[in-house]
Amino acid sequence: MFKGSFVALITPMREDGSFDEKAYTEFVEWQIAEGTNGIVPVGTTGESPTLSHDEHKRVVEIAVEVAKGRIPVIAGAGSNSTEEAIDLTRHAKQAGADAALIVTPYYNKPTQEGMFLHYTAIADAVDLPIIIYNIPGRSVVNMSVETMARLAKHKNIVGVKDSTGDLQRPIQQRLAMGADFCQLSGEDGLAVSHRAAGGHGCISVTANIAPRLCADMHAAWEQGRIADAIAIQDRLTPLHDALFSETSPGPVKYAASLLGKSANKCRLPLAPPSAATEARVRAAMTSVGLLN
Question: 171-180 long-range contacts, Cβ below 8 Å, gap at least 24?
Answer: 171/197, 171/198, 172/145, 173/145, 173/148, 173/149, 174/198, 176/145, 176/146, 176/148, 176/149, 176/152, 177/148, 177/149, 177/152, 178/152
Is 266 a member of any domain?
Answer: no
Q: Which of 3, 24, 119, 161 is catalytic?
A: 161
- Using DSSP, state whether 48 is helix, strand or coil: helix
Are the C-beta atoms of 132 and 143 separated by less than 8 Å?
A: yes
What pLDDT, on the 0 to 100 scale, is given for residue 1?
A: 80
pLDDT on residue 69: 97
**Within a domain: residue 171?**
yes
Residues of the chain short of pLDDT 50, as ranges, are: none
- Give domain status of residue 253, yes or no: no
Q: Is residue 289 part of a domain?
A: no
119 is catalytic: no
- Mean pLDDT, the chain, rounded, equals 97
**223 occurs within a structural domain:** no
Report yes or no on 156 lying in a domain. Answer: yes
> Which of 133, 253, 254, 265 is labelled catalytic?
133
**Would you say the pTM of this structure is higher than 0.85?**
yes
Strands 130-134 and 157-162, how do they pair?
A: parallel
CATH number of residue 40's parent domain: 3.20.20.70
How deeply is 48 buried, as exposed, middle or buried, from its count of CB atoms within 10 A (0-12, 13-18, 19+)?
A: buried
Enumerate the β-bridge partners of residue 188: none
Structure confidence by residue, pLDDT tens digits, 14-71:
999 999 999 999 999 999 999 999 999 999 999 999 999 999 999 999 999 999 999 9
Containing structural domain, residue 66: 4-210
Other Cβ atoms less than 10 A from the Cβ of 108: the count is: 16
Residue 150: its pLDDT value, please? 98
What is the distance between the alpha carbons of residues 91 and 132, in angstroms, rounded to a whole number? 18
Q: Is 106 a catalytic residue?
A: no
Q: Does residue 182 belong to any structural domain of this protein?
A: yes
Task: Please tell me the total count of domains within the chain.
Answer: 1
How far is it, in rounded angstroms, from Cα 56 to Cα 65? 15
Residue 278 within any structural domain of the chain: no
Neighbours of 69 (CB within 10 A): 9
